[in-house]
Amino acid sequence: MEYIRFEKHDFAAVLTIDRQQALNALNSQVIEELDKAIDGLNFDEIRVLIVTGAGEKAFAAGADIGEMASMTREEARAFGRRGNEVFRKLETLPVPVIAAVNGYALGGGCELALACDIRIASENAVFAQPEVSLGITAGFGGTQRLPRLIGPGKAKELLYTASRIKAGEALSLGLVNAVYPREELLSQCLKLAEKIAANAPIAVRATKKAINEGIGKEMNLAIEVEAVQFAGCFETRDQLNAMTAFIEKRKAGPFMNK
């Protein structure tokens, strides 16, 4: 692929958007290549996915305005729908996804980060949904995920004003989980991935599924979602081995995804 790079680090994989001449802007080709890269992941080997952008300046500086400027209403609808399909696929992957946000995460880039489970930022990260300053709305899920993450009041302020916020404010709002110097960003994300991957992968996947499926439901229905995932972990090899080790006061052996 021209714009997507893939690297494997033990139980983690790193997908890097590498279109540096356009600040990693998301055009149709990047979105299609991202979709193909996601489809090619082997979840028997990968327990955590990290998504990042190449270079020092940008995670992804939005959807490609040069491509969007001449779109008709129907072409824009198809472009937005396609981006949403790919981002939703990323959001619902069975394994946790970490966004390593370096530099600009604007528009579609911010929305890409929002589709990930956890966002870790570099000190030079900048977030914004600037679409209204371009005469459009957010089109890849920003109006839906941002209010769910940081609350509707602050999300509306950011969406209505097209304001940019730096990493420190993003951390205070809960938009990101942590901020590190740029040169430490990927290594810190890999450390976090290692901590996640050290746990029982079936249980981690079940936890993600319980959160994603239950969060929009009324509590009585949500706890039933959790109950299904909880019960499904029992009699797996990982559960039996780990609980036996706990009772016997010894360290559990490596988890086997079974």
Q: What is the pLDDT of residues 95-138, one digit of tens each?
A: 999 999 999 999 999 999 999 999 999 999 999 999 999 999 99
Domains of the chain: 4-197 (3.90.226.10), 201-247 (1.10.12.10)
Backbone angles phi, psi at 196, to 5 degrees: -65, -45
Structure tokens at 67: 């491509």
Give the CA dihedral 84, 89, 95, 98, nearest 10 degrees: -30
State what percent of residues in the chain have pLDDT above 70: 100
What are the tokens at 175? Answer: 């938009």
Query: What is the pLDDT confidence band of residue 202, given thresholds at 50, 70 and 90?
Result: very high
Mean residue pLDDT across the chain: 96
Q: Which residues of 142-159 are buried (b: 16+ CB within 10 A; e: fewer)?
A: bbebbbeebeeebbeebb
Is residue 257 over pLDDT 80?
A: no
Say how far residue 248 (Cα) sits from the centre of its chain.
38
> Which one from 7, 74, 75, 111 is the annotated catalytic residue?
111
Residue 235 pLDDT level (bands cut at 50, 70, 90): confident
Has 2 been annotated as catalytic?
no
Helix axis angle for 73-91 and 28-39, nearest 10°, is 30
Contacts 24+ apart (CB under 8 A), 69-73: none
Active site residue 131: yes
The pLDDT assigned to 193 comes to 98
- What's the mean pLDDT in 84-105? 98
Tokens of 53: 């952008």
Whether the predicted pLDDT of 252 surpasses 90: no
Residue whose tokens read 């957010």 = 138
The share of the chain scoring above pLDDT 90, in percent, equals 95
At 256, the pLDDT band (50, 70, 90 cuts) reads confident
Which burial class, exposed, middle or buried, applies to 52 when counting CB atoms under 10 A from its CB (0-12, 13-18, 19+)?
buried
* pLDDT reported for residue 57: 96
The Cα–Cα gap between 36 and 39 comes to: 5
pLDDT band at 240 (very low <50, low <70, confident <90, very high): very high
The three-point CA angle 82-34-97 to 5° equals: 105
Q: Please answer whether residues 119 and 152 qualify as being in contact, where contact means their C-beta atoms are separated by less than 8 angstroms.
A: no
Look-up of token digits 């993450």: 149
Q: Cβ neighbours of residue 249 under 8 Å, at least 6 residues apart? A: none
Q: Can you tell me the mean pLDDT for 51-55?
A: 97
DSSP 8-class letter at 129: -
Averaged over 194-217, what is the pLDDT?
96
